Structure 1
């Protein structure tokens, strides 16, 4: 029988002290200055829902240098990047404008609005992204070739949303005053608290998967020739009846070579050491493949467990903007954590840009909640419990009576989720008071409804559409893609359109400048890059 014992977080003195501190109107005002940015992916496809074979539209500019529109693994996998925004409304507005401009340049193509891919016609129908002839462009392309040879192309065309988050600089000294460590530097304190956020995020991230997971089904073309344990729904759709996010299951970002990799989130030093070591571990399978094939064509950057640190698949990352010439892990080691990147968010196929303002409000609330609590180091047994909770939630999250492991004991997902939301109530009120609105309290109400009635979750709504309308996954998602294109086809204002056209031209010019300025061979450039 599930226990009703509350976890230690609900009696957390650090959290209570932080809430008391934020009752000061001057301190609370800093909650209006939270910073967030969104990176949203989406596959280009034709009007039949088949993955695009066309090159990245030239009117969108250079994928190497454009600040707002690029590609991820595939040439067909668009990625829209907002600037740092002071509100969720601003971030969604930026995505809306970027999508409108993209549609104006895409020659009647669609943007697939689900995390799980559109119709694939075999692995080789997924074109690998190209970034021009510069050494940097070749590095990005070869890295993606390495991903193909290591994990296959199919896994790499799954799409998602990355949510970047940071506190305002002015809030850190106020929080540090509560900490009673006068000899600790400010950056060490900031990094330590961000890693505390990350550990608490990992403890509670199952809640985000339940509330916002939107990939309970997939086209059978995604798993063609692969073993799986999914059920069949209609002729070309596979699913699990209570799944929330197949994208975050072993069917999505699975990686047998990384299965034994344990990256430690207990401190910056531990993280850099454990992830840095993985970058230098030789793997026999990759050694046999070789860096180049018999024709001298690069197949991967190196033969290590990870070619670069970005190859490590994680649902959250500590981040630092690297200076020119720095590798990301190098920058993190030198200067500490600047912001965090949440990577477990599905595209919601019912929303034109995959996410809406209420979800951003909850993300901000949830991440502040994780940061303001104390956060013990994660021991081996808790690490395994975290993995178990994630897998139960992604495959069975809406199953009646489902339990998760809380402090070594089974606890109802529904009860635990509602208790977490209750614990966020005061913080939500403080954030709303500071911002003179009710968005955080409102979104709490929306999420409570999902926990008390799972039919309101995006994953349940997707399955309801497939089952009630008798649609295949690809048919339903194609309908949504066509509707979103109509929604986002309203022309931009002339001055906005000119701005985006200028960005595209400037990015192409910048790519040409980079290509013309290369002085090293790619072989020498790669050797220099990898030895840092």
Structure 2
């Protein structure tokens, strides 16, 4: 049912210091909304700085879709306090607006009111805006304002060096780490369904989100605008949410770094008949997409997890990976946690540490496209029916199907062993996390999706969102900053505006020349 992690655990128990210095970063997306839950139509507040160049506070698809980005941190309380300081500062600088606490947006009756993010007049800024024009025309604006959490994770170099020594692997540590992260990613695809099970928090949507989608007739309803599937965990990850069927034919491999990079390169060079028919320009000769390939740029690839490396200015993500190998992984399958003002909790961070270490330790056979498609089926089952009593998941290689509860309990047995290694001295934070979340395996209604669906059934989708948003707004506005301060935020905003102006002043090419220079 699950791989045996005993041998790897014995190795790690002998060298617990190898887990000292785990790198973590959080990117939280959230929509700015009015008091009634409707989408803000105001531009990105100038007091927050430039969305193009600010390090911590930017925008994603739309002007109203904010993104909070923490630096890499090796201390969990510090990381979460930094993230909360960003939220405190924003709450005090967006007037009467507040942050929507759900991944799925509230009432949006006219998608044309969703203003695409603006980044100034520079070629870089225009490219980012036109990329979003392409997303709008390809997939629709509504899908693009679904919010989520990205969790960035890296293991210390010493961990990979010790693994190489244990395996008598004499290759450069950069290659060993890249292979190790790809092993982690393959296991994430195999067993990552545990994340929407535990933390999926979008079992319901506002019916305005569905439009005329016939699936709405198969969903339960409160008659007040909320619709849901009774056992769903994360509709954000379903075909109703942030998915892209047009990319289903891309054969992206996670068996080696060369194969992964080649797959990305192939995707951004593969023409699409559908996007060709859209054209590059509208009737007024304004660009509506960067190109007509399956992917405009590599970041358009939809995936629950990605291998990453910090890029240099103007560098494509695949070129960064080819240059220096995989530096960290980005987990992208987390819904906004509606029970947290910052969209994520400490127990989630600690669980992700445990689970990702487990994925890095266990064996991970290579996966062809058929196997990758097969394991995605278990994700879809959990996404739509994860809380169904007695739910069965499919086993690979013709083995007997297994219950989610059995697999989840076996997984937590391994996680508890890792938790004991991570907890130092009298600290039991990781073990407490296992105890709390482990209880959700046998009690599906105590999962995030079970708890938030109960709230939505009582207060409605919009009503519960408004209540949570207002409660968090009041709390954040009243709390003092702990790590950062007003002077730091003011300086950061001013620096970002100056940097944007410098980028605009340094342009020497026309936009079409600039775009052509970036090809290949």
Shorter-chain TM-score: which interval? over 0.9
Q: Cα distance 1:79–1:493, how it changes in 2: closer, same or farther (>3 A)?
A: closer
What is the aligned partner in structure 1 of residue 147 from structure 2? 159
Shift of 1:436: 4.9
Partner of 1:188: 175
1:289 shift after superposition:
1.3
Return the alpha-carbon distance in structure 2 between the equivalents of residues 380 and 351 of structure 1: 37
**How far off is 1:381 after superposition?**
4.1
Return the alpha-carbon distance in structure 2 between the equivalents of residues 491 and 502 of structure 1.
Answer: 21
2:425 is aligned with 1:425 = no
1:135 to partner: Cα distance: 0.6
1:411 to 396, 402, 415: 402
Q: Distance in 2 between matches of 1:148 and 1:397?
A: 31
1:121 aligns with 2:112: no
Of residues 429, 433, 446, the one that matches 1:439 is 429
Partner of 1:147: 135
The equivalent residue for 1:3 is none
Which residue in 1 is equivalent to 2:300?
Answer: 311
* Residue in structure 1 matched with residue 335 of structure 2 by the alignment: 346
* Cα distance, 1:239 vs structure 2: 0.6
- Alignment of 1:136 onto 2:124: yes
| In 2, Cα distance between equivalents of 1:363 and 1:436 | 21
SS where residue 27 of structure 2 aligns?
strand
What's the counterpart of residue 438 of structure 2? 448
Could you list the per-position Cα deviations for residues 507-528 of structure 1 after superposition, in whole angstroms to 9, with x for gaps in the alignment?
1111111111111111100111
The residue that corresponds to 1:28 in the other structure is 16
Asked if the contact 1:122/1:221 (under 8 Å) is kept, the reply is: no
Unmatched tracts of structure 1, length 5 or more? 1-5
Count, aligned residues: 515
The one of 440, 443, 450 aligned to 1:460 = 450
The whole-number CA distance in structure 1 between the counterparts of 2:481 and 2:186 is 44
Deviation, 1:427, is: 1.2
Q: What is the correspondence of 1:37-186 to structure 2 with a 5 Å cutoff?
A: 37-182=25-170, 184-186=171-173
> Which deviates more, 285-294 or 205-214?
285-294
The Cα shift of 1:466 comes to 2.2
1:199–1:108 CA distance, 2 compared to 1 (3 A): same
**Taking structure 1 as reference, are residues 436 and 136 closer, same or farther at Cα in structure 2, changes over 3 Å only?**
farther
**1:237 matches 2:226:** yes
In structure 2, how many angstroms separate the alpha carbons of the residues matched to 1:90 and 1:436? 20
Deviation at 1:255, TM superposition (A): 1.8
- The answer (yes or no) to whether the contact 1:187–1:335 under 8 Å persists in 2 is yes
Alpha-carbon distance between aligned partners in 1 of 2:264 and 2:243, rounded to the nearest angstrom: 18
Does structure 1 conserve the Cα–Cα contact (< 8 Å) formed by 2:20 and 2:156?
no
SS state at 1:318 partner? strand
Correspondence 1:375 to 2:355: no
- Contact kept, 8 Å, 2:186 with 2:364, in 1: the verdict is yes
Contact persistence 2:88–2:481 (CA under 8 A):
no
The equivalent of 2:192 in structure 1 is: 205
Note the aligned Cα RMSD (angstroms): 1.4
Contact 1:234 1:472 in 2 (8 A): no
Cα contact 1:242–1:399 (8 A) shared by 2: yes
2:24/2:72 contact within 8 Å kept: yes
Q: Which runs of 5+ in 2 are unaligned?
A: none
The answer on whether the counterparts of 1:77 and 1:157 sit within 8 Å (CA) in structure 2 is yes
Please state whether the residue corresponding to 1:302 is helix, strand or coil. coil
Within 1, Cα distance between the matches of 2:223 and 2:410?
38
Partner SS for 2:313: coil
Offset at 1:380?
Answer: 4.0
Q: Distance in 2 between matches of 1:72 and 1:319?
A: 18
Task: Give the TM-score, by structure 1 length.
Answer: 0.94
1:323 aligns with 2:308: no
Q: Deviations over 1:381-435 (max 9, x none)?
A: 43232111011101000001110012233110111111111122211111113x7
* 1:431-510 correspondence to structure 2 within 5 Å: 431-433=422-424, 436-467=426-457, 469=458, 471-490=459-478, 492-493=480-481, 496-510=485-499
SS in 1 for 2:423: helix
- Structure 2 CA distance, aligned partners of 1:78 and 1:509? 21
Preserved CA contact (<8 Å) 2:65 2:145: yes
Normalising by structure 2, we get a TM-score of: 0.96
Report the Cα offset of residue 257 of structure 1.
Answer: 1.5
Asked if 2 retains the 8 angstrom alpha-carbon contact of 1:131 and 1:137, the reply is yes
